[in-house]
Structure 1
Amino acid sequence: MAADTSTRIVWEKILRQAICIRVHSFKVIFLVVIIIVIAWTISQTRCLTFDINARTGQGNSIQGANANAALQETDAPIHTDTRVILLTYMRSGSTFTSELFQTHPDVFFMFEPLHTTWYYQPKVIPYLHNYKRIYFDDMEKFITDVKIDTLTKILQCQFKNLDILTLIQEHWHHSKTTKAYKLCTMDQRGVAGIEKCISILTNACSKAKVNFIKTINLTIHEAEHFIAKDPHLKLIYLVRDPRAILSSQMRYGEFVPNRLNSYSEMFCRTMLSDIQGYAKLKKIHPKQVIFVRYEEIAHKPIPLTETLYDFVGLSLTQNVTKHIYNITNGGNDVDCALCISKSNSTKAAEIWRMQTTHDFVQIVDSNCKHVYQYIGYLPILNASTLTDMNIPVRTSPFHDLVL
């Protein structure tokens, strides 16, 4: 009996020790978890490299232990004589219009730099030198700030300061001044390759007189940021008949036909907001903004190019004039919607009237007629008017846009 009692006492001591060890282990594990969470939070805070509030104009700030080293490795701003943003919409003739500029030897041309940010809307945006920008709560503001930050860096030739997603996107291939960089990164892979090739962009940009960006992913409201801050920045607002834009977008799969009503309503609401914003900018900064319709460029390419060149401070050379003639009168068939060069640019701008139906036009007219009165387009009342090229569907734009 005494032996049993002694054994029980021994086992109780062992059990108490085991419980104490387990409790202590839980405490240790809990403490380790807390330490890991704190360490991760600190690391992420340090990764917020470019925590920019573009709206308040506070500029770039780099946070973290290696901030000074990061600043030493970034590009200093390089200011060309003029910086230009061509703001427009998908399938509005912007690629054709851009070709009028990128053929000039004094232009550094960037094609759709916001595509990756706008299309994928990533929540974590990595930069060179192991820094990141991280989304927390307001996605719309996050993307807007990233877009403004990206365009600011390109306009200042600060390519080392761009995010990696922008630096690896496909659209570098679509510009004569950036294609060499894209080919270089295809040969020199990874981040190390980007760092080796990026000087190609900096050198080309620094030698140009005009730094030109074409984008379909910016609103007039967002562009106002650049106009207000930079007196040497010019904004070209390019529009086209909404029926032509929507017909082409649907043809190439941007939306399905049964969504035409809701999509056209949304599109023209956005367009109206841009038009109203542009009219406001025109009153405040009349020498920095210009409104142009694609159909007018297609109809009179050389006179309109000369007008646009004068606006951004370029001279129309003989070689550029010859190139414009070749791409507007001696190129591909007018039905080649993805081609820059056209056998007849005037017909190419109007070919949509032969490719769509009056039912399509009626839906768009009902949702967009309030836009027509500002930018100078007319409703199409019947099917015969739609296909009769002798009947114009354009009129003069609202005077506040062109004064």
Structure 2
Amino acid sequence: MRRKCRQQRLCAISTPPTLIMSKGRLKVLLFVCLTSFVILVVHFLLTTKINAREYKVNDRTVVQYRKESVLESTNGQTLLRRIGSLGIASGKLKSNRKLILLITNMRSGSTFLGKLFDANEKVLHVFEPFWPEVDDLGRRWSATDDRKIGLLQSFSTCHFDSPSALTFLAELSSGRRQWTRYYSTALSSATFCHDTHLQVKQPEMNTNCSFSPTAMQQTCLSKQAVVLKVIRLANISRVESVHEHAIIRHQGMSHTPAEFHILHLVRDPRGTIHSRMKIGRLRREYQSYHPNEQNVGNEAMVEFSANRLCKQISYTLSVGESRLPWILGKYFRVRFEDIALHPVVQMTELFHHYDMEMKPEVLHWIQSNTHGAALHSQPQPRQSLQTNRNSTLVVDSWRILLKSAKGRKYVDIIEKQCSDVMRHLRYDLAM
């Protein structure tokens, strides 16, 4: 007993009291750190897992998490209802099909890009589905919101039994919309049009076409992507309601709705305005807003058109690049100049972005249409919308304005109205 006490005293003497206290504190510190780490992980999973599933487009996209969540939302019940209706929590929205809304402004190269998509047999390309629901300036959207939302919902779910979809199909058959079929290989195929020889020689005269909801559904479901080429959409924020409504109908369906994406095509404002000038669009645009001013000069028309154009581009950029839940991870921007100068590289990148392959048919179309060597046996229904041009010349066509004093004045006006947008899109100023 005496020896045991003696050993304890020696141990007490050999171990400093400060060291004994530091070991105790270390245990407490480790326990606190471990507990905090577990709490943070649980909080992270609870608040961001749903958003990660919602906003991840593909493996190449960085997963982005939002701070606003089930725990932090000011209206948690509303958010939970949206999550439940979208089917995100249960993973019901995972779909191999894409609904790509190609939005841009008039004379920005959307017909060219649309035909590039159309060359892929796995794509259903629809030329101007909103035409003529609104005029060229996109000013009648509010009067036709329901019809547009219904039509976009139809393309998302591949159900074409709504009133707006039935009207659309009827106009494709024999109405004033039938000329738009020329720009869609799928809508001009033998599935819908029986006199296919007319589609090559006289596409606008081929009236022997019928578009039933069943045939349209089969075509829609057979494609990897539906690309809707739209220039008549002045306010991109309206699409939020399309995003929310287009997938409500998925409950009870045998297939999931398509993933919704927005592809924003931009062009150098100088090229866009110059193209509008060549086809006489500036005067029509100006007089639609100023009907009593008939003797307006060219400089005033250029200034008005450039101002409206760049305000629209700026607004679309601000929404597309925002962190709004409905568009986060679904917005992609591409420049017309990059596609026109490097179509193979850019289209390969675009198809890869949407989890699709670059088909040999697309390469063939590029070789046939981007060097001014397209076959003349293929007529264009509207010459202002032709796509068989030399891409390099189209990109630089606006520079002809720099050869005259009046033209340089136009360029200076455009650059003053669009300087911020041009810098944001990496366009160098000439003046």
TM-score (norm 2): 0.58
Partner of 2:358: 316
1:164 equivalenced with 2:167 (yes/no): yes
1:298-317 equivalences under 5 Å are: 298-317=340-359
Structure 2 unmatched runs, 5+: 1-80, 83-94, 172-176, 196-203, 248-257, 284-297, 376-382
Partner of 2:224: 209
Q: 1:338 to 1:217 in 2, by over 3 A?
A: closer
* 1:351-382 Cα shifts (integer Å, max 9, x gaps): 2212571111111112111211222222221x
Q: Given that residues 84 and 312 in structure 1 are in contact (C-alpha distance below 8 angstroms), is that contact kept between their aligned partners in structure 2?
A: no
Q: 1:326 to 1:187 in 2, by over 3 A?
A: closer
Corresponding residue SS for 1:368: helix
- The alpha carbon displacement at 1:307 in A equals 0.9
* 1:132-168 Cα shifts (integer Å, max 9, x gaps): xxxxxx9653323332222222333333422526741
Partner of 2:12: none
Work out which of the residue numbers 292, 296, 307 in structure 2 matches 1:265.
Answer: 307
- The alpha carbon displacement at 1:105 in A equals 1.0
Q: 1:282 to 1:112 in 2, by over 3 A?
A: same
Q: 1:243 to 1:212 in 2, by over 3 A?
A: same
Work out which of the residue numbers 326, 333, 339 in structure 1 matches 2:386.
Answer: 339
Aligned equivalents of 2:304, 2:206: Cα separation in 1: 45
Partner of 2:119: 103
* 1:7-60 Cα shifts (integer Å, max 9, x gaps): xxxxxxxxxxxxxxxxxxxxxxxxxxxxxxxxxxxxxxxxxxxxxxxxx99xxx
Letter in 1 for 2:322: K
Q: 1:281 to 1:187 in 2, by over 3 A?
A: same
Partner of 1:82: 98
Letter in 2 for 1:367: Q
Partner of 2:270: 243
1:136-147 equivalences under 5 Å are: 141-147=142-148
Corresponding residue SS for 1:119: coil
* 1:269-327 Cα shifts (integer Å, max 9, x gaps): 12211111111158875532211000011111111101110122211123322322322
Question: Kindly, what percent of the aligned residue pairs are identical?
Answer: 22
Q: Given that residues 112 and 387 in structure 2 are in contact (C-alpha distance below 8 angstroms), is that contact kept between their aligned partners in structure 1?
A: yes
Q: 1:239 to 1:228 in 2, by over 3 A?
A: farther
Partner of 1:349: 395
1:376 equivalenced with 2:422 (yes/no): no
1:290 equivalenced with 2:332 (yes/no): yes
Aligned equivalents of 1:120, 1:85: Cα separation in 2: 18
- The alpha carbon displacement at 1:332 in A equals 5.2
Q: How many residues align?
A: 282
Q: 1:156 to 1:304 in 2, by over 3 A?
A: same
Corresponding residue SS for 1:211: strand
Structure 1 unmatched runs, 5+: 1-55, 58-78, 122-137, 382-403
Q: 1:280 to 1:304 in 2, by over 3 A?
A: same
Aligned equivalents of 1:321, 1:140: Cα separation in 2: 37
- Runs of 4+ aligned residues of structure 1 deviating over 3 Å after TM superposition are 180-189, 196-200, 224-231, 281-287
Aligned equivalents of 1:248, 1:349: Cα separation in 2: 11
Aligned equivalents of 1:250, 1:233: Cα separation in 2: 34
Q: 1:174 to 1:99 in 2, by over 3 A?
A: closer
Partner of 1:255: 282
1:174-189 equivalences under 5 Å are: 174-180=183-189, 181=192
Aligned equivalents of 2:136, 2:395: Cα separation in 1: 31
Relative contact order (alpha carbons < 8 A, sep ≥ 6): 1 or 2 greater?
2
Aligned equivalents of 1:352, 1:167: Cα separation in 2: 40
1:93 equivalenced with 2:135 (yes/no): no
Aligned equivalents of 1:238, 1:139: Cα separation in 2: 22
Letter in 2 for 1:216: I
Corresponding residue SS for 1:236: strand
Q: 1:320 to 1:113 in 2, by over 3 A?
A: same
Partner of 2:367: 325
Corresponding residue SS for 2:370: helix
Q: Given that residues 244 and 352 in structure 1 are in contact (C-alpha distance below 8 angstroms), is that contact kept between their aligned partners in structure 2?
A: yes
Q: Given that residues 226 and 233 in structure 1 are in contact (C-alpha distance below 8 angstroms), is that contact kept between their aligned partners in structure 2?
A: no
**Structure number with higher helix proportion:** 1
Compare 320-329 and 236-245 and name the one that shifted more.
Answer: 320-329
